[in-house]
């Protein structure tokens, strides 16, 4: 849709997300130490709390399910042709169950190792495609037109769907006031690496506009000069991405359990990790046709994120701020 203007659009949505983050931080100032579930309870009572909680759990389960299925499908396609996809999905979910049976600190600590490795792997690919870079490739600068970049392209803000977790971070922080630093750092790192990944594609390959592939980053690895040193360089990267996926599912399940804990007022929800993963497994296996799955997953990522994160959450925060200004008290 954007053609050669992908980089321009990425910079534009990064600017939009930074503005959005400033807004969220300002709205959160009155509710430090509370997450969006607490805020929805403050605003609309138990009904709104349960409704938002269920929506959030549903969002996380769907996101984890689609991501697991898509990754497993690509993994099967590349290396395990004709193997049952359920085995691969179960392997990823099994890791998430085990990780959640331990303390959530173990998930966070393993993330501090896996996330940098994943980011370094993206940086590493640049070295091996740098000789393919042509500065002229992202021209014509406005691609398919300015309206596609700045109007329709604004919906690409959904690429920052990781902002979802920002609405749940506050109670987990030791120093609650650090939320603004964390938010800006996360958005900037995420934006820079998104820009980086797009720039690698746009500056190195010109057929990406006309050909849609299963995974652009896989395409970069396969076509990079890494194959001059390694016969199958993509194996290394698939391993890293598999680790990243396991880490993401573990985090998604962890947040599902945290939300459930709040909704049910229970002390412990770890034992439900298996149940959450079972639901993820069922959802991931619901759609058999890959083209339908891709269409539904893409629609979900886009509209689900826009409606829930950029729509409902923001409205809840605005509503709660208005209520507080009108004299509403927060229950400690």
Partner 1 sequence: MNDKLRKIFVIVLLTLMLIISTTNYYGIKGIDNLAYVVALGLDVGENEALKLSLQISIPNSGEAGSSSSSQSSSVVIDSIECPSISSGISLFNSYLGKEVNLSHCKVLVISEKLASQGVSEFIYTLTNDMHFRTDSNIIISKCEAKAYLEYSAPLLDKVSARYYEIAPNSSEYTGYTESVTCNKFFSAITDSFSQPTAILGSVNFGNTQSLVSDASSDSSYYTAGQTPFSGEPSVENMGLAVFDGDTLIGELNGFESICHLIVSNNLKNAQIRIPSPIEELDYIDLYIELEKDTKNTVYLVNGSPYIITNPKITAKMQSMNGNINLKDDAIIAQIEQSTKEFLEKHITDYLYKTAKDLGADVDSFGLYGLKYFSTTAEWEEYNWLHHYKDAFFEVNLDVNLRSSYLLVDTAEERNEVLQ
The site for partner 1 (CB under 8 A) is made up of: 3-4, 77-78, 81-83, 94, 98, 101, 134, 136-137, 139-145, 205-207, 210-211, 222-223, 227, 271
The distance of closest approach from Cβ of residue 228 to partner 1 in the complex, given in angstroms and rounded to an integer, is 8
1 Cβ contact list (under 8 Å, min separation 6): 144, 148, 152, 153
The distance of closest approach from Cβ of residue 109 to partner 1 in the complex, given in angstroms and rounded to an integer, is 17
Q: Which is nearer to partner 1, 77 or 113 (CB)?
A: 77
Q: Which is nearer to partner 1, 82 or 112 (CB)?
A: 82
- Taking residue 176's Cβ as centre, other Cβ atoms within 10 Å add up to 15
> Among candidates 223, 221, 191, which has minimal Cα distance to 20?
191
Buried b or exposed e, range 262-294, using 16+ CB within 10 angstroms: bbeeeeebeebbbebbebbbebbeebeeeeebb
Q: Which is nearer to partner 1, 142 or 301 (CB)?
A: 142
Q: Which is nearer to partner 1, 55 or 76 (CB)?
A: 76
Q: Which is nearer to partner 1, 31 or 71 (CB)?
A: 71
The distance of closest approach from Cβ of residue 268 to partner 1 in the complex, given in angstroms and rounded to an integer, is 10
Q: Which is nearer to partner 1, 138 or 304 (CB)?
A: 138
Task: Output the CA–CA distances (angstroms, integers) from residue 172 to 17, 32, 104, 312, in the order listed.
Answer: 23, 11, 11, 22
Instruction: Give strand ranges (E) for the chain.
Output: none
3-state secondary structure 215-228: CHHHHHHHHCHHHH
The distance of closest approach from Cβ of residue 311 to partner 1 in the complex, given in angstroms and rounded to an integer, is 31
Q: Which is nearer to partner 1, 94 or 239 (CB)?
A: 94
The distance of closest approach from Cβ of residue 134 to partner 1 in the complex, given in angstroms and rounded to an integer, is 6
The distance of closest approach from Cβ of residue 89 to partner 1 in the complex, given in angstroms and rounded to an integer, is 15
Q: Which is nearer to partner 1, 210 or 289 (CB)?
A: 210
The distance of closest approach from Cβ of residue 136 to partner 1 in the complex, given in angstroms and rounded to an integer, is 4
Q: Report the interhelical angle of 104-129 vs 179-204 (nearest 10°).
A: 30
The distance of closest approach from Cβ of residue 51 to partner 1 in the complex, given in angstroms and rounded to an integer, is 31
Q: Report the interhelical angle of 36-78 vs 273-286 (nearest 10°).
A: 60
Supply the DSSP string of 166-201, one letter for each residue: HHHHGGG-SSGGGHHHHHHHHHHHHHHHHHHHHHHH
Residue 326 CA neighbour count, 13 Å, CB half: 7
Residue 248 CA neighbour count, 13 Å, CB half: 20
């Amino acid at each position: 849709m954007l053609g050669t203007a992908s980089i321009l659009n990425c910079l534009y949505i990064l600017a939009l997300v930074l503005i959005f983050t400033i807004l969220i931080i300002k709205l959160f100032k009155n509710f430090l130490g509370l997450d969006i579930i607490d805020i929805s309870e403050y605003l609309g009572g138990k009904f709104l709390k349960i409704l938002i909680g269920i929506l959030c759990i549903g969002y996380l389960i769907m996101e984890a399910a689609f991501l697991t299925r898509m990754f497993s499908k690509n993994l099967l396609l590349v290396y395990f042709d004709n193997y049952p996809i359920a085995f691969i999905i179960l392997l990823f979910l099994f890791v998430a169950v085990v990780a959640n049976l331990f303390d959530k600190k173990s998930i966070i600590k393993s993330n501090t190792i896996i996330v940098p490795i994943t980011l370094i792997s993206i940086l590493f690919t640049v070295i091996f495609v740098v000789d393919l870079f042509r500065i002229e490739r992202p021209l014509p600068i406005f691609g398919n037109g300015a309206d596609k970049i700045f109007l329709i392209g604004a919906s690409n803000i959904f690429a920052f769907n990781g902002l979802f977790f920002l609405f749940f971070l506050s109670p987990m922080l030791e120093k609650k006031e650090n939320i603004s630093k964390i938010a800006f750092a996360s958005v900037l790192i995420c934006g820079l690496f998104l820009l980086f990944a797009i720039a690698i594609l746009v500056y190195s390959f010109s057929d990406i506009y006309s050909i849609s592939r299963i995974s652009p980053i896989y395409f970069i690895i396969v076509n990079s000069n890494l194959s001059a040193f390694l016969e199958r360089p993509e194996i290394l990267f698939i391993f890293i991405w598999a680790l990243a996926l396991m880490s993401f599912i573990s985090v998604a399940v962890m947040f599902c359990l945290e939300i459930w804990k709040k909704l049910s007022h229970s002390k412990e929800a770890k034992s439900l990790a298996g149940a959450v993963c079972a639901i993820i497994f069922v959802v991931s296996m619901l759609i058999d046709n890959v083209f339908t799955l891709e269409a539904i997953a893409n629609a979900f990522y886009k509209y689900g994120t826009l409606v829930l994160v950029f729509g409902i959450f923001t409205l809840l925060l605005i509503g709660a701020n208005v209520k507080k200004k009108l004299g509403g008290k927060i229950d400690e």
